[in-house]
Amino acid sequence: DADVTQTPRNRITKTGKRIMLECSQTKGHDRMYWYRQDPGLGLRLIYYSFDVKDINKGEISDGYSVSRQAQAKFSLSLESAIPNQTALYFCATSDARPSYNEQFFGPGTRLTVL
Amino acid sequence: GEDVEQSLFLSVREGDSSVINCTYTDSSSTYLYWYKQEPGAGLQLLTYIFSNMDMKQDQRLTVLLNKKDKHLSLRIADTQTGDSAIYFCAENNNAGNMLTFGGGTRLMVKP
């Protein structure tokens, strides 16, 4: 079974709709992250959480919100989707140890906003 | 601010060596990384190097780090078709363990 799962894997929606992307992990990690991937731009950090009561904005948080429902669950919401939020979204987790901070990624959610 | 740059594309023949290059700007990074993304999948850590090292070898992979020039490279020896993927360079931010990724280099291996 995958350690980091994301649902849905694909989603097509219309401008103005509210969308929630969900992430679950069985790795027991405290740290969770949401990234978006655009061709040629790499991954950009949207939000991150170092524990259940901790939420921090990343590089591109405008238009997004998150909820850390439990250690294992971290969801990303688009309150009113717009076409330039069409992208591949990845959730990732990491442990506070080891020091090299390997991040473990989910399989991604492909979101298309029409 | 932090910036990590890579060329977009590299094509090699099976059996040749591949060299993927990366430049970064944050001189305080303690670790630099290479992640691999296969089609339809998330990223997986391929290897990493501590900033006080200048070389790390792991089977077919060799990582070279030039801190003076802020240049990182990944050499894949005897490249196979299964190495075809997107390779991301990343650096960590000392404050908070954030990663900054480059744009990714798509490696195509021709048989």
Q: What proportion of chain A, given as a percentage, has pLDDT over 90?
A: 87
Contact B72, B21 (CB under 8 A): yes
- The pLDDT tens digits of the residues spanning B21-43 come to 999 988 788 899 999 999 888 99
What would the mean pLDDT of B59-68 be, rounded to a whole number?
Answer: 95
pLDDT at A1: 60
Three-class HEC string of chain A: CCCEEEECCEEEECCCCCEEEEEEECCCCCEEEEEEEECCCEEEEEEEECCCCCCEECCCCCCEEEEEEECCEEEEEECCCCHHHCEEEEEEEECCCCCCCCCEECCCEEEEEC
pLDDT above 70: residue A106: yes
pLDDT above 90: residue B18: yes
Nearest to A40 among B40, B43, B103 (CB): B103
Please report the number of interchain residue pairs, chain A to chain B, with beta-carbon separation below 8 angstroms: 50
Cα–Cα dist B74/B68, whole Å: 17
Q: What proportion of chain B, given as a percentage, has pLDDT over 90?
A: 75
Taking the CA of residue B50 as centre, how many other CA atoms within 13 Å lie in the half-sphere pointing to its CB? 5
* Residues of B whose CB is below 8 A from A95: none
Contact B45, B101 (CB under 8 A): no
What would the mean pLDDT of B81-85 be, rounded to a whole number?
Answer: 95
At B1, is the pLDDT very low, low, confident or very high (cuts 50, 70, 90)? Answer: very low
Task: Measure A79 CA to nearest chain B CA, in Å.
Answer: 25
Nearest to B42 among A31, A100, A105 (CB): A105
At B94, is the pLDDT very low, low, confident or very high (cuts 50, 70, 90)? Answer: low
* Residues of B whose CB is below 8 A from A102: 45, 48
pLDDT at A41: 82
* Residues of A whose CB is below 8 A from B47: none
Contact A91, A72 (CB under 8 A): no
DSSP bridge partners of B58: B61
Q: What is the helix (H) or strand (E) element at residue A33, kind and residue range? A: strand A31-38
Helix (H/G/I), strand (E/B), else coil: A55: coil
Cα–Cα dist B72/A103, whole Å: 19
Joined together, the tokens standing for residue A40 give: 């040629």
CB contact under 8 Å between A102 and B8, yes or no, is: no
- Tell me the one-letter amino acid at A102: E
Q: What proportion of chain A, given as a percentage, has pLDDT over 70?
A: 98
